[in-house]
Structure 1
Amino acid sequence: MTRAAYEAVLCDIDGVLRLWDPAPLRALEREFGLDDGALARAAFAPHRLTPAVTGAVTDAQWRAGVAADLTEGCGSRERAAALVARWSALRPEVDTGVLALLNAVRQRARVVLVSNATTRLEEELHALGLADAADAVISSSRLGVAKPDPAIYSAAAAAAQVPLDACLFVDDTAANVEAARGLGMAGLHYTGAEALRDVLSSLLA
C-alpha cells in the first residue's frame, strides 16, 4: 500500500484495538453443556445481530434474545440466562501497541473509531479506559446503519472533518475495507500491528 500523510485514520475496534480471548467463552459453553461455538452462533446469527448493531434493539434486548435461543441447549431458561450473564461479564484486552500507534497518529491526524456495535459500546470503552482514545467514535447502533453500508463511512469522515479520499480505513474484515476503498478511501485489511505501523509511518515521523 502506498504510504501517505492521511488526514484521518478511521479504525475498527474489535479485532484491532480490543481483542477477545476465545478460551473463556469455550469454557463457558462446556460448563453449560453446549457445543463449541454454540453461543457465538446464537449471538451473531443475522436475525439477532443485525437489529442489535443497527439500534433496532438495545444491547439488553439482544442478550435476552440470545438467552432465549439457548434455553433448549442449556436445559432451562434460568441456566441460559446465567450463561448469557457470565458471557456478558467477560472483558477483552486492549492491544496496547495499537493504542500507542493511534495516540501517536493523533499528533498529526484525526482518529475516529468505527464499530458495528450494540448500545453498550460507550460503557465498554469507558470500562477499558478507551473513552478518550480517539477524536470521535462512530457506533453503528447510534447511527442506525452498519458496515459496510456507505453511510457509516461518510459519517466517520464527517466526524473527522475531512474528505473521504483523505481517510485511511482500518478493519479486520476484508469486505468492510473493500467498501471503504469503493468510496475513495485508502484501506488496510488489518492482520497485525506491524502492517499498521508501516502504513502509518508518514504520520509517525
Structure 2
Amino acid sequence: MRAILFDLFGVIARVQSPESQALLERTAGAADPDRFWSAYWSQRAPYDRGDVAGPAYWKGVCDTLGIPLDARLTADLIAADLASWSEVDQRSVDLLGELAGQGFSLGLLSNIPEELAERYVATQPWLDRFSVVGFSCRLRSAKPEPAAYEWCVRELGLPAEEILFVDDRAENVEAAHTLGLRGHVFTSVDALTAALAAAS
C-alpha cells in the first residue's frame, strides 16, 4: 500500500450536527423536518456533481416543500448549509500529517458542491497535504459512480491495489473494492490507525 485516498465528510470533516440541522430547518421555515430532509437529500446529487449551483439547488428544495424563495432566503440557506459542513476533526487532520511523514501519497475524494469546495480551499491549509484532490463538483462525477474513483487512481499514478480508500459509508467502500482498491469503512481515527498498523 503506497497511497491512501480519503473521503472528506464523516472522516476528516464532521457531518452535520443536530444544532446545524435545526438551524437549517428554522432558516427554511420547514414545518415538517422529515419532509425537509427528504427534499434536501433528493435534490443533492446534481448539486454535488456540479450540475446546478446553490441557488438552483435551493429552488428545487423549496419548490418541493412549497416554500416561497427570494434572494435573501436563498443566501441565508446557502450560508447555513455551508456552515453545517464546515467543522473539522482535528485528530483526523493531525493523522494526515503523520501519514505524509511516513511516505504515503494522500488523495481526497469528496462529494461536495462548488460553494463548499471553494470554502474549504480558502480556509483549510491542510488540503495541501493531498497530492490529488477530487471534488465531485469539479469531476462532474460523485461517489459511488466509478468515474470518480477512476480519476483519482489515474491522478495518483498507482495500481488500484496499492491504494487504500477510506470512507464512512460502506456503499462507497464497496464501489472502490469493485474497482480493485483496498477499502476501510471509517469509524474513528483509532480504528483507522490500528488497521493501518495491521496492514504494514
TM-score in terms of structure 2 length: 0.84
Contact 2:82 2:116 in 1 (8 A): no
Aligned to 2:56: 61
Taking a change above 3 Å as real, the CA distance of residues 103 and 59 of structure 1, as seen in their structure-2 partners, is farther
SS of the equivalent of 2:38 reads helix
For 2:61, give the aligned amino acid. V
Taking a change above 3 Å as real, the CA distance of residues 140 and 24 of structure 1, as seen in their structure-2 partners, is closer
For 1:165, give the aligned amino acid. E
Higher mean C-alpha displacement, 174-183 vs 128-137: 128-137
Gaps of 5+ in 2: none
Q: Quote the offset at 1:44 in angstroms.
A: 1.1
Higher mean C-alpha displacement, 100-109 vs 29-38: 29-38
Contact 2:30 2:36 in 1 (8 A): no
Q: Which of 31, 40, 43 is the aligned partner of 2:40?
A: 43
Could you tell me how far apart the structure 1 residues matched to 2:32 and 2:122 are? 30
Gaps of 5+ in 1: 1-5
Q: Report sequence identity in percent.
A: 31
Aligned to 1:124: 119
Could you tell me how far apart the structure 1 residues matched to 2:148 and 2:30 are? 39
Contact 2:54 2:78 in 1 (8 A): no
Q: Indicate the structure with greater helix content.
A: 2
Higher mean C-alpha displacement, 128-137 vs 11-20: 128-137
Structure 1 position 77 matched with structure 2 position 73:
no
SS of the equivalent of 1:56 reads coil
Contact 2:177 2:183 in 1 (8 A): yes
Q: CA RMSD in A?
A: 2.5
Structure 1 position 22 matched with structure 2 position 15:
no
Taking a change above 3 Å as real, the CA distance of residues 170 and 23 of structure 1, as seen in their structure-2 partners, is same
For 2:91, give the aligned amino acid. G
Contact 1:16 1:190 in 2 (8 A): yes
Q: 1:68-147 to 2 correspondence within 5 Å?
A: 68-70=63-65, 72=66, 74=67, 76-78=68-70, 81=74, 84-91=77-84, 92-107=86-101, 108-129=103-124, 130-147=126-143
SS of the equivalent of 1:111 reads strand
Could you list the per-position Cα deviations for residues 44-76 of structure 1 after superposition, in whole angstroms to 9, with x for gaps in the alignment?
10xx22222222222442233223334x2x4x3
SS of the equivalent of 1:132 reads helix
Could you tell me how far apart the structure 1 residues matched to 2:51 and 2:30 are? 31
